[in-house]
Amino acid sequence: MRKICLGISAVALIVLLAGILADNMRLWQPAAVTLSVTFAIGVGAIPALKGYQYTAWIIAAVVAGMIYPAAFLKWGDVDLRNKWLILFVIQLVMFGMGIHMSLKDFSGLGSTGRGVLIGLLCHFSIMPIVGFLLTKIFHFEPEIAAGIILIGSCSSGLASNVMVYIARANLVLSVAVTAMATLAAPFLTPLLMKLLAGTLIEIKFINMMMEIIKIVIVPIGAGLLHDYLKHARPGGRRVVNIILAISVVWLIALVPLWPLAEKTISPAGLESLELSAFFAGAVIAGVVYHFLSKNIKGLDDFMPYISMFGIIYFTTVTTAAGRENLMQVGFLLFISSVIHNAAGYFFGYWLSRAFRFDKNSARTIAFEVGLQNGGMASGLAGTMGKLGTVGLAAAVFSPWMNISGSILANYWRRKPVMTTSKNEIKTAAPESETAPT
C-alpha cells in the first residue's frame, strides 16, 4: 500500500510540474494535494524518512488548506472554526497525551528537583522573551505577533519526551519538566501573555487561565485518572465510583438549571459553574475510557492516531482561515519560527551548562525549551476566535519543530556522552539507558 502511494506521488509530482510550467491551476492544484497526501502515506516505506511521517501529514494539511481554503472553513452549516468544535478536538488531542502520561511521571521530582526548577525557569523565560524580540524585529501585524509570543509562552508537550528518548538523554528529567510545565501553564501562560502581548491584543488573565484548564488540565486529568485506575486498590476504586456518581448527577442537574443560572449568576460565577461541568465530564471520560481500554484490545495504541487526526484537523483549518495572511507573511513567519526554535535549543543547552548540568541533562533542557505545545497554542487561538491570525505561528512552528527536533535528536544519538565531569551536576540517571527499545 505504502509503495503504491509512493508511485502515485511520483506521478503526481510530474503532473504538478507540468501544470506549473503550463500555468494550469486546474492541473497543478489537485496534483499538489495528491502529491502531499500520497507521500505522507507512503513515506513510511522509506527507512530513512520513516520518522517524519507525522511531519509529512502536517505538511499535507498545510498544502490542502492553502490550495482549497473554502473546503476547510465550512461543511454545510457547520463552521469548522467554531470555538466549541476546536475546543473538543484540542481536548481529544490532549487526552491522547494524558493517557501516555503516568502519575509516576511526578515521582521523578525527588531526584530531579533542581533540574526541573531550572528547566521551568529556562522554558518560561527564553521562549517568551525570544518570541517578543522577534515581533519587534519582523514587525508583524499585532494579532500575528501575539501568536508568536503565545507559542513561546505555552508549555512543552510529549514531543520533547520523544526527542529526548531518541537522543538517549535524560528521560526522567524530561518527563518531570513536561509534567510540571503543564501544571504551571494555567498561571504562567496568561501572565506572560499579559506582560508581553497585552498591548497587541486584549488579554483577560482569568478567562485565559480558565481556557487553559479546559484545554490542558481537564483532558490530561482524565488520562491520569485512567492511569490511576489501572493500579487502584478496592478502596480507591470505591472513591472514584462515588465521585463518578456525583459527576453524573451534577451534569444531569445542570441541563435544566443552566438557563436559570445564565439569568441570575454573574459571569464569573457562570465560568466557575462551566469549569465544574468540565471537571465532572473529565471524571466520566476517564472512567469510561478505562472501561473501554480493558475490553477493547489495543485502544491505547490507537489513541495516538486520534490525536494526530486532531492536530491535522486544526492545522488544516488554521491554514485555511489564515491563508491570506500566510500569502503575505508566510515566509517571514517561517524564518521567525526557525530562529525561535533554534534559540530555544541554543539557550536551553548553554544556560543548563552554565548551571553546571551534565551534557545529557543539558541536551534534555534544550528539547524542553525548544519544543512547544502547538496544540495548546492553537486551542487558545481558537477559543479567542482568532485562529486565522493568532493561531498562524503555531501552525508554522509545529511542523518545523518536529523536523528540527528529529534531526537534532538523531545527531545527539550518534554523539553519546561517555563521561560526566567532576564539576558537572548529574540531575538523574538517563532513563533511556534502561528503557526498552
pTM over the 0.75 mark: yes
Per-residue CA distances from 360 to 50, 60, 357, 365 (Å): 25, 34, 8, 9
- Paired residues of 357 in beta bridges: 425
- Burial class, 183, CB count within 10 angstroms (exposed 0-12 / middle 13-18 / buried 19+): middle
Per-residue pLDDT of the chain (437 residues; tens, 9 = 90+): 888 898 889 999 999 999 999 888 889 889 999 999 998 888 878 887 776 777 788 888 888 988 998 888 888 888 887 878 888 888 888 888 788 777 776 665 555 678 888 889 999 999 999 999 999 999 899 999 999 999 999 988 777 888 888 888 888 888 888 888 888 999 999 999 999 998 898 888 888 888 888 888 898 889 889 988 988 888 989 999 999 999 999 999 988 888 888 888 888 788 888 889 999 999 999 999 999 998 888 888 888 788 888 888 878 888 888 888 888 888 899 999 999 999 999 999 999 999 888 888 899 999 999 998 888 888 888 888 887 888 888 888 888 888 888 888 888 888 887 655 555 556 554 444 433 33
Q: Which residues pair with 78 in a beta bridge?
A: 75
Burial of 384 (0-12, 13-18, 19+ CB in 10 A): buried
CB proximity list for 101: less than 8 A, separation 6 or greater: 158, 175, 179, 220, 223, 224, 227
Beta bridge partners of 283: none
pLDDT of residue 425: 57
Residue 340: phi and psi, rounded to 5, are -60, -50
Residues 6+ apart with CB under 8 A from 410: 51, 166, 167
Confirm if 281 and 218 have CB atoms less than 8 A apart: yes
Instruction: Sort residue 130 into left (φ over 0), alpha (ψ -120 to 50) or beta.
Output: alpha
Every domain of the chain and the residues it spans: 1-75, 80-433
- Cα four-point dihedral sign 423, 424, 429, 433: negative
Contacts of 98 (CB under 8 A, 6+ apart): 219, 220, 221, 222, 223, 224, 226
Cβ(171)–Cβ(363) below 8 Å: no
CATH number of 80-433: 1.20.1530.20
Check: CB of residue 175 under 8 Å from CB of residue 157.
Answer: no
Considering only CA atoms, which of 383, 366, 341 is closest in space to residue 212? 383
What's the CA angle centered on 431, arms 428 and 433, to 5 degrees?
Answer: 115
The reported pLDDT for the residue numbered 260 is 85
**Residue among 283, 175, 307, 298 nearest 229 (CA):** 283
Quote the CA–CA distance of 110 and 310 in Å, as a whole number. 35
**What is the structure's pLDDT at 327?**
84
Give me the pLDDT at residue 431, please: 42
CA distance 199 to 356: 37
pLDDT at position 350 is 93
- How far CA 363 is from CA of 264, 346, 355, 368, in Å, comes to 54, 10, 13, 9
**Helix ranges restricted to H, 203-266:** 205-212, 218-231, 234-264
Give the C-alpha separation, 152 to 340, whole Å: 8
> How far apart are alpha carbons 182 and 116 in whole angstroms?
12
The span from the CA of 410 to the CA of 238, in Å, is 46
Specify the 3-state DSSP secondary structure of 78.
strand
**Whole-number Å distance between alpha carbons of 224 and 171:** 19
Nearest to 252 by CA among 280, 210, 222: 280
